[in-house]
Structure 1
Amino acid sequence: MLKLQWNVLLCCLLGLIPLIAAFTPDEVQIFQLQQEIEKTYGADLDLYQLLKLPKLRESSSLEIRKNFRKLSKTYHPDKNKKYKKLYERLNLATKILIDESQRKVYDYYLKNGFPKYDFKKGGFYFTRVQPKVWVISSLVYLACGFIHFIILRLQNDGNKARIERFLREVKTQDDTNGLGEKRLLLKQNPKEEGKQLVVKLGEVFVVQPDGSEALISTQDIKNPGIADCLLVTLPLWVWNKSIGRMVSKPKPSGDKGVSEEPKHSSSETKKNKSSRASRGSDKMELPNGKIVQSRKKKQ
């Protein structure tokens, strides 16, 4: 059963591994262009500044087109070949910003940050949004604890159902209709001695080796709680095996042969004496000052 639990936990953990969502071609194109202009012209430059738009982000698509035509008069490769790469970037930046959907994507990453590029990691990736190790560990730990709790509840419910099914089968052999006592012998295979069962007034008992009868019921089976799953048991186990062992100090054992007698105050001693002295009479004074009068039994 324990092996089954760990197999289920392992399968659930594998299912928790997040899938890496690939960027769209439009996003990759935007990332590449932004990376190029940052390396060439500076990290603070964006496409609006590259196109030298007077209104920058407030510029409309029509204004961006007009501005590109104005720049083409200066940076077109037919007029100067050294501006070929720059013209390509200006043209691509214009296409991105005049397209409404691509412009929204660019503005989003411009506000929240662009991913970095690493060939070994498969292309563009984010660093600022990556959760820390303790965050991932906490999420995995909580998920494992929740899964373990579900497994415990399922096993407990299965055990209850199995016992209740067994009780129903035994009660079908009771020909007293729950009004008397019926003794049965339970054998799982012909070779074993078997166990004696007693159906008494609708309740099923198993006869112990000493002759006593133990009730078979699901009422005493408690449902597992959060304290029974890994969320609590694992930290307690770690604590007991590490810090808890050092913190808990054994109590000093005193000499068994020597016992200290309790010391009584003088007032308590006087009260005790008065109570002893009054025992011979029909009145007795208690230590708290009250007097109890005994009644003689009538003969």
Structure 2
Amino acid sequence: MRFALLFTLFAVLAAVVLAWEKEDHEIFDLVSAVESSEGKGTTFYSWLDVPSTASTTEISRAYRKMSMQMHPDKNPGNKKMAERFARLGVVAAILRNSESRKRYDFFYKNGVPKWRGTGYYYSRFRPGLGSVIIFLIILTSALQYLVQRMNYKRDLERVETVIRDARLAAWGAKMIPIEGQRKVKVNLGGQRGFDEDGNLVGGKTIDMVVSGDAVYILDPSGDMHPIDASAATPPGVSRTWFFLLMRHLYQLAFGRREQTDVISNPGPHSESELDEASGYDSSTASEKPSSGTVTPREDAKSGARIPTTMAGGKRRKAMRKR
């Protein structure tokens, strides 16, 4: 993936450089020479003292006027003036030709690429603030996606290692599957070894259950959670910061508006819509706290644990009274 990104970058740069034609390079050199001789920021039009909308006749008139002043016959022995006179003739020739003038006008409006040693670089257009922001968003999102891919690959390797260690502890060094379930301890780090029962121990360990080819993590409560490749979070463009930010802003803008509409107009809405707008989940009201489906909260002052269904129930009753 890294080499593909580098190849793409070099391909884009090469395409930009190869996009210039011979006539473009001649204009670039002439622009640099005019600025060096006549002052930085001098353009073909400003040197001839004509507007960029001047007609061919106006350009020819301005050229004749300046060429009479710079002619070598009037400046004998002045090598610099002779160079300026020759350069002025090339400038006038470009502006009097419709095709070459159109080419120059493109760079006159959008900016001329800079010269750096081996060739011209970056695009014909000078990037504005919007272009820079878009570029940074794309760049940072691409880097974040690349990091996600690297983390996903690392997580897959860790999952495979844990599964292999669990099977090794359950089946032995020969890795012959054993029927039924077997509880084992798997080392997650530190120095590894085997106890008298053949379990892999040492360092930080977790309880796991191996049942056939399936491997489970065993909670202290007795619940078993399967562990496989799905335990690793795959990369996704929708999980990059920009998409997450847009989603969050959308929820803030439209989610609150929908809740406000339901609360302010309770009559036409159903009971489930009122529960959703008030934050009450009716499905948890009938479940026991021991089922693990209801998450308790702590009171900020007393530290007592209060089921969230109580708060939701009060809100629901208040809504019904309205």
Structure 1-normalised TM-score?
0.50
Structure with bigger gyration radius: 1
Structure showing the higher helix proportion among its residues: 2
Structure 2-normalised TM-score?
0.47
